[in-house]
Amino acid sequence: MEEVRQSSAWVARNSSHVTVDSSGIEKVVEKIKESIPKVEWDYEGIHYFDNGPLTVQYLFVLDTLNFCFWPDKDLNYDHLAKGLKEALLNDNSAFDADRLQKYTGPQLRELLKWPRPLPLEEERVRLLHEVGFELERSFEGMASKLVESCGKSAVKLVSLITRHFPGFRDHSVYKGHQVFFYKRAQIFASDLWGAFKGQGYGEFNDISSITMFADYIVPAVLQQLGVLKYSSTLASIIEASSEIGAGTEEEVELRACSIYAVEKMRELLSIKSGKQVLSVELDLWLWSVGVQCPSLQHHRTLSIYY
């Protein structure tokens, strides 16, 4: 994940609309260093888990669709995680590779028991087809085979996913530089690690390589904590709930500065507490704070990546 770290740091050094405030980081670290908040994976109790390959298939489908809920104000991540779980409990072949290649928009809606079109529904369906097709072509139809071929390396897993599945190639070009985020690929590795508690399909010797997942919730939490500072123009765009285009400087800076800030927080926290802290752990804490705050104003970008 070095390319994610390095390219995000480059954006943070050259940014025009978002700044990472080191005194803000110090304040947060001072507050939490004595007892570092630990949030348990699936604290909500919404995910499917059977300790086997079907869970891996579920998590891969989940993270294929884990983006852009906000255009429908009643829809959120929980609906997706729970809806897919219910679908699998009703029919354990619902995510077989051949079935994934055939879903239509209305069928996906029905699967999730959502009464109206999903945001970016056509893209969601296209990505499911892509995943079904490539799983069948290269991994005997099973996401578990994909995971098994990574030799307990999260870095290898992310790179294999981005090589095989174009829909996971989450990157941007910023001021002429290529910037990598790989949000859904990284969160898949982290979901495996969390669900299987670091064992079996969730065992990764390099889980510390994973960065935070640059979504639309964590940047807003970091801003509230005083870790990120926005230009007045950017702040008013977000307050007005106006859209920010995918690939704009503003959007790339919000995501990259969040990655950079969490890396800095992690480094400082490790020094001050004397314990190794993982970016995935900080991410889950920050995300859970964000989704429990109904008044949180986040940036709005139509994107298939987060």
Beta strand 228-230 with 18-20 is antiparallel
Q: How does strand 177-180 pair with strand 171-174?
A: antiparallel
Q: Does 181 bind ligand 56B (CB under 6 A)?
A: no
215 is catalytic: yes
Half-sphere exposure of 298 (CA within 13 A, CB side): 26
Cα distances from 231 to residues 16, 19, 21, 138, 240, in angstroms, run 8, 8, 13, 46, 14
- Binder of ligand 56B out of 210, 218, 269, 282 (CB under 6 A): 218
Which range, of 3-11, 52-60, 98-106, 211-219, touches ligand 56B by CB under 6 A? 211-219
* CB nearer ligand 56B, residue 78 or residue 98: 78
Angle at 150 between CA 145 and CA 152, to 5 degrees: 115
Among 1, 7, 28, 41, binds ligand 56B (CB under 6 A): 41
Nearer to ligand 56B, 215 or 250 (CB): 215
Nearer to ligand 56B, 69 or 139 (CB): 69
* C-alpha dihedral (197, 28, 170, 82), degrees to nearest 10: 50
Q: Is 291 in the site for ligand 56B (CB under 6 A)?
A: yes
Stretch that binds ligand 56B, among 106-114, 157-165, 169-177, 283-291 (CB under 6 A): 283-291
Question: What are the residue ranges of helices labelled H in 139-247?
Answer: 143-148, 154-164, 183-195, 218-224, 232-239
Q: Which of 63, 170, 191, 215 is catalytic?
A: 215
Within a 13 Å sphere around the CA of 270, how many CA atoms are in the beta-carbon half? 13
Residue with Cβ nearer ligand 56B (62 or 97): 62
Give me the 129-168 binding string for ligand 56B, x by CB under 6 A, dash otherwise. ----------------------------------------
C-alpha to C-alpha distance for 215 and 32, rounded to whole angstroms: 23
Report the half-sphere exposure of 170 (CA within 13 A, side-chain side): 28
Query: Between 64 and 144, whose beta carbon lies closer to ligand 56B?
Result: 64
- In the numeric block, the tokens 């699936």 are attached to 42
| Stretch of 115-123, 129-137, 156-164, 280-288 contacting ligand 56B, by CB under 6 A | 280-288
Q: Which is nearer to ligand 56B, 131 or 217 (CB)?
A: 217
For the bound state, the minimum distance from the C-beta of residue 82 to ligand 56B, rounded and expressed in Å, comes to 10
Quickly tell me which residue has 């005083």 as its tokens: 226
> Nearest residue to ligand 56B, using CB?
76
CB of 218 to ligand 56B, least distance (A): 5
Q: Does 204 bind ligand 56B (CB under 6 A)?
A: no
Maximum Cα–Cα distance across the chain? 52
Pairwise CA distance, residues 106 & 109, whole Å: 5
Instruction: Give the footprint of ligand 56B on this chain (CB under 6 A).
Output: 41-44, 66-67, 69-70, 76-77, 191, 194, 212-213, 215-218, 283-284, 287, 291, 306
Q: Which residues are catalytic?
A: 215
